[in-house]
Every structure is written in C-alpha cells, then in structure tokens.
Amino acid sequence: MLPGSSERGLVTGINVTPLVDITLVLLIIFMVTASFISEQALQVHLPKVVKEEKAPQPALVVTLGLDGELKFNQKNIDLAGLTQQMTVETSVNPEVKVIFKADKDVPYEKLAQVLDAIKMGGVQKVALAMDRK
C-alpha cells in the first residue's frame, strides 16, 4: 500500500481466534455431556418392556427359576442335559428357535451359563422373554 492510499483501514485477513475459542468451548460441552449420557446408559432395568414382539413359532421354551431350577418345555433338566437336548433339536431342525425365560432377580452368571449351554447345542436363534409394563 502506498502512504497516501485510502485502503489503510481495510482488513485483508480473517481473525480465527474467536472461532477457535467457540469451537473449543463446544467441544468441552459435548465431552462433558457424553460422559453423563454414558453413565446413565449403564443403569438398566430389565425385564419389563413397553413394546411387545411376537414370539417365534414354533419355538422351544427354556425357563430358569430364581432358585436355579432349569426347565426345558416344562420338564426339569440340568445344563449338560440342556446342551444335549439342544444338539438333538438342531439335528432335527437347524433353524430351531428358543425362547429363554428367566426370573428378573436371577444372577447374571446363571443367565450366561444357560445361554452358553443353549449355544453349545448349536442353536443360533435365542429370544429373551420380557414382561410388558
């Protein structure tokens, strides 16, 4: 620019400092909000649901009681017998479906053991039964 020109007060660049400040503030807000959301997601209340889905038909029913009693189609069975029975059922019908009903106060470890026994028998489709609210 020449000393006598009229373009002395004209800004030729963009100041990005306010943009960076706003971006960092928004980033911090999103990070704090995301941590609250993830903590709330850990609190689950099962097995009640609002929307009900139709059970697959025909399906086998496995029931686990609060005291650990296990039933397959209303007959008492143990985990090893359940795995054997699931193997027999999948040999007859590889697309067999199982509905698993468990008391809401059953420990998670017991649920995992029964689900593992069902899967070891070769069953690929397992549905968890829920009560409607």
Phi, psi dihedrals of residue 27, rounded to the nearest 5°: -60, -45
Find the helix packing angle between 108-120 and 79-92, rounded to 10°. 40
Please tell me which residue, 92 or 52, carries the higher pLDDT value.
92
Do 87 and 35 reside in the same domain of the chain? no
The DSSP secondary-structure symbol of 120 reads H
pLDDT, tens digit, 9 for 90 and up, residues 48-70: 555 655 555 567 888 888 888 88
Bridge partners, residue 130, by sequence: none
Dmax over Cα atoms in the chain, in whole Å? 102
Do 116 and 99 reside in the same domain of the chain? yes
**Contact (Cβ atoms closer than 8 angstroms) between residue 71 and residue 106:** no
Do 35 and 53 reside in the same domain of the chain? no
Range with top average pLDDT, 30-34, 39-43, 65-69, 113-117: 113-117
Contacts of 102 (CB under 8 A, 6+ apart): 47, 63, 64, 110, 111, 114, 128, 129
d(CA 82, CA 119): 10
| 91-110 as b/e: b if 16+ CB within 10 A | eeeeebbbbbbbeeebeeeb
Do 67 and 104 reside in the same domain of the chain? yes
Residues spanned by the domain of 38: 13-43
Q: pLDDT category, 27, cuts 50, 70, 90?
A: very high
d(CA 54, CA 76): 26
pLDDT at 116: 92
- Whether 22 shows a pLDDT value over 90: the answer reads yes
Do 21 and 57 reside in the same domain of the chain? no
3-state secondary structure of 78: coil
